[in-house]
Amino acid sequence: MVSFSYAQEVTSESISKASFRGMSWRNIGPFRGGRSVASTGVLKQAHTYYMGSTGGGIWKTTDDGLNWKNISDGFLKTGTVGAIAVSESDPNVVYVGMGEHPARGVMTSMGDGMYKSMDAGQSWSRIGLDYSRHISDVIIHPSNPDVVYVAVQGAQYGDSKDRGIYKSLDGGSSWSKVLYVDERTGASSLTMDMNNPLVLYASMWDHRRYPWKMESGGAGSGLYKSVDGGMNWTKMSSGLPEMMGKSGISVSRANSNRIFAVIEAEGEKGGVYRSDNQGKSWTQTSKDRILITRSWYYMEIFADTQDENTVYVLNAPMLKSIDGGKTFKPVGTPHGDNHHLWIHPENNSVMINSNDGGANVSNNGGMSWSTQSNQPTAQFYRVIADRKMPYYVYGGQQDNSSVAIASRTDDGGIDHKDWYSGPGCESAFVAFDPDNPEILYGGCYQGILERFNVISSTHKEIKEYPELGLGKYPSTFKYRYNWNAPLLVDPFDVSVIYHAGNVVFKSTDKGQSWTVISPDLTRDEKDKHNEGGGPFTNEGAGGENYNTLMSLTASSHQQGVIWAGSDDGLVHLTQDGGKTWKNVSPKGISNYIINSIEVSPHDAATAYIAVMGYKNM
């Protein structure tokens, strides 16, 4: 974070941590789970499970998910878990790989390597692979907890030599890279034959994310096998697509000859493949597109531990096949967008699933699941507070909805009755009418915008231009909107609302009509407004829209003073209500995200900006 004055040069001072020492925090909820991509059970301890959250660290339950407890606060340097595994031979030994593996353009958090607990999660030690960024799998030898393998997917936004499969023989004290393809190709999946732990199978993924596009697939992608504990690897090819994108792989514990893979590839070549001879040859068993939709985000596969004909594919729905991967039917889960499944090795009706709403346990093969409404692991884009007594806090919760929640109550706690879903959606900026806080405004991806009446629970769409861009190139849009498009109510006139795409919009009648009051305030790079994904899978939900405005704020000192920040490093200022705009961008932050701008309440000429550079890493 830096502070600067538009009348002066940029200062180099950052905000001191000492300024916040006197502050204390309390959790006001909601206890509605956020995204989880990693979870596991414990072989000889019924009812005990671990969950890795995105941003909230490591959690543990000892009662089948009725209650969860955070067990990592104070130990981890980063908060997002990509993979977690418990030793089958020693349940006190737990390994965790940091950095989630779904490579989405918004809200995907990197990690800082591997952590280990030797006391079932009571304490944690960092054990290396510091620059792995994103870890997709951790596999522990079934009888020796010191032998562990890690699938490192690696950095999303740049080339990295840290990608590949790593092995440790000494419990993580030292690591050897045993499989490496190139700087673009990371490990998206790793599985071990638990009947012969010298045999491993790996999915390698040639990929690179840009702020405006996801490249998933290339010459580096492929499936590999080792028969000597990872020391040597052979690329499998017979029956497989020559070119592929992301893939997942799983060997059957019930039949070591059988391996399943789910593969992103061109046209009908994508789908589920099966080998019945330990990977010597493969046959495509299903071409159903639902298995590989949005491959870079979900698309994981898990062989049943007791039935060689049963296999699960996790995508937006959780899908199950009982005929060897030929046909699939959905399995109901508490939340969509599924990422991980652990199946008990000795009882395949016992499992834990991780999805965009948290983690949930089943003891009947997925017929019913434990609740996710006991996991305070939500990810919020923005929060604001209104002027009620007690005040309410509003924000957009990723993978759920926007939420309004009371800051306190009179009955001893804040629970479900004290919050409700608000306007907009998961990616919402939320604003309120200061004169009537029962009127809320909320945004959504694609620039969707609505006005919400709390009393009547009515929603009214008020988007400036009625255009839905799902699946379309940004170059075809009239306006480009950020996934988290800014929104605010004028501090001097509550009938005036501002909303931003690549330009700033103004309404003087609470959203009934709109006027554009700025030119394009981004770099407007035409070559970055095309398809959002390739070469096999396009992405058109809005997360890849680029050259958009990310932050917008109005001064409380003087009407008509508005600041705007873009996702490509620009800061603009108007002092006449949008008639003229001046580029006041600080030096040294080219192409970085101007995430937030705050005008000093003490000095009208001073503003603070929060800058994010993770999309350049």
Return the amino acid letter for 45.
Q
pLDDT value at residue 3: 64
Question: Do residues 338 and 355 touch, judged by C-beta distance below 8 A?
Answer: yes
In a domain, 44, yes or no: yes
The Cα 605–Cα 585 span in angstroms is 15
Nearest to 447 by CA among 431, 433, 429: 429
Q: What is the DSSP letter of 22?
A: T
Question: Do residues 350 and 344 touch, judged by C-beta distance below 8 A?
Answer: yes
Q: 3-class secondary structure for 292-321?
A: CCCCCCCCEEEECCCCCCCEEEECCCEEEE
Question: Do residues 549 and 569 touch, judged by C-beta distance below 8 A?
Answer: no
pLDDT value at residue 14: 66
Give the tokens for residue 108: 């995907």
Q: Which of these three, 360, 394, 415, is where a domain ends? A: 360
Return the amino acid letter for 489.
V
**Claim to verify: residue 175 and residue 268 sit in the same structural domain:** yes
**Claim to verify: residue 85 and residue 213 sit in the same structural domain:** yes
**Claim to verify: residue 101 and residue 192 sit in the same structural domain:** yes
Return the amino acid letter for 84.
I
pLDDT value at residue 617: 72
pLDDT value at residue 229: 99
In a domain, 523, yes or no: yes
Q: Which of these three, 555, 576, 605, is where a domain ends? A: 555
Q: Which of these three, 539, 555, 571, is where a domain ends? A: 555
**Claim to verify: residue 356 and residue 398 sit in the same structural domain:** no
pLDDT value at residue 427: 96
The Cα 395–Cα 427 span in angstroms is 9
Helix (H, G, I), strand (E, B) or coil at 407: coil
**Claim to verify: residue 220 and residue 289 sit in the same structural domain:** yes
The Cα 567–Cα 565 span in angstroms is 7
Give the tokens for residue 148: 């562990």
Range of the domain at 88: 33-360
pLDDT value at residue 17: 80
The Cα 10–Cα 111 span in angstroms is 31
Q: What is the DSSP letter of 244?
A: B
The Cα 315–Cα 317 span in angstroms is 5
**Claim to verify: residue 273 and residue 395 sit in the same structural domain:** no
Number of domains in the chain: 2
User: CA–CA distance from 144 to each of 87, 136, 251, 330, 589 (Å)?
Assistant: 8, 21, 20, 36, 48
In a domain, 585, yes or no: no
- Kindly give the parts of the chain with pLDDT less than 50: 7-12
The Cα 76–Cα 591 span in angstroms is 30
Say how many C-beta atoms besides its own lie within 10 A of residue 311's C-beta: 27
**Claim to verify: residue 425 and residue 326 sit in the same structural domain:** no
**Claim to verify: residue 302 and residue 180 sit in the same structural domain:** yes
**Claim to verify: residue 413 and residue 291 sit in the same structural domain:** no
> Taking phi first (over 0 means left), then psi (-120 to 50 degrees means alpha), and beta for anything else, what does residue 275 get?
beta
Q: Does this model's pTM top 0.75?
A: yes
pLDDT per residue as tens digits for the range 42-94: 999 999 999 999 999 999 999 999 999 999 999 999 999 999 999 999 999 99
**Claim to verify: residue 454 and residue 340 sit in the same structural domain:** no
> Taking phi first (over 0 means left), then psi (-120 to 50 degrees means alpha), and beta for anything else, what does residue 198 get?
alpha
**Claim to verify: residue 436 and residue 334 sit in the same structural domain:** no
pLDDT value at residue 10: 43
> b/e per residue, 584-610, with b = 16+ CB within 10 A?
bbbeebeebbbbbbebeeeeeebbebe
**DSSP for 184-209, written as a single string:** TEEEEEEEE-TTSTT-EEEEEEEEEE
In a domain, 532, yes or no: yes
In a domain, 602, yes or no: no
In a domain, 373, yes or no: no
**Claim to verify: residue 412 and residue 450 sit in the same structural domain:** yes
In a domain, 396, yes or no: yes
Whichever domain contains 183, its CATH number is 2.130.10.10
User: CA–CA distance from 587 to each of 21, 537, 547, 571, 583 (Å)?
Assistant: 30, 37, 18, 11, 11
In a domain, 519, yes or no: yes
H or E, element range at 247:
strand 247-251
